[in-house]
């Protein structure tokens, strides 16, 4: 289910969010599906510090691993946040 195309409603929300961002950032939001602000919230970072992002990503990805009772959905969101 996580790999299905984005629904029209979700795409409309992403497009509306994208209009409030810079053009380059808006394009990235449409491609990845989340805004920069949402990515920062997912990864619990306030700045775009690569070391902090990687540290939080590693922790969140590990604790959400399905083999330890985590959620594949949350793990996917963490990956999307890092990608953004």
1 band by pLDDT with thresholds 50, 70 and 90: very low
Give residue limits of the domains in the chain. Answer: 47-83
26 band by pLDDT with thresholds 50, 70 and 90: low
Question: Token pair 């990956």 is at which residue?
Answer: 79
34-62 pLDDT, tens digit per residue, is 888 999 999 999 999 999 999 999 999 99
Residue 65 has pLDDT above 80, yes or no: yes
Alpha helices in 2-71 (DSSP H): 8-19, 23-32, 36-43, 50-63
């Amino acid at each position: 289910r996580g790999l299905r195309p984005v629904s029209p409603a979700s795409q409309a929300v992403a497009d509306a969010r994208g209009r409030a961002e810079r053009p380059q950032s808006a394009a990235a939001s449409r491609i990845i599906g989340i805004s920069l602000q949402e990515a920062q919230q997912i990864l619990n970072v306030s700045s775009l510090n690569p070391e902090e992002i990687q540290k939080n990503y590693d922790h969140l990805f590990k604790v959400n691993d399905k083999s330890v009772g985590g959620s594949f959905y949350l793990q996917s969101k963490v990956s999307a946040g890092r990608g953004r």
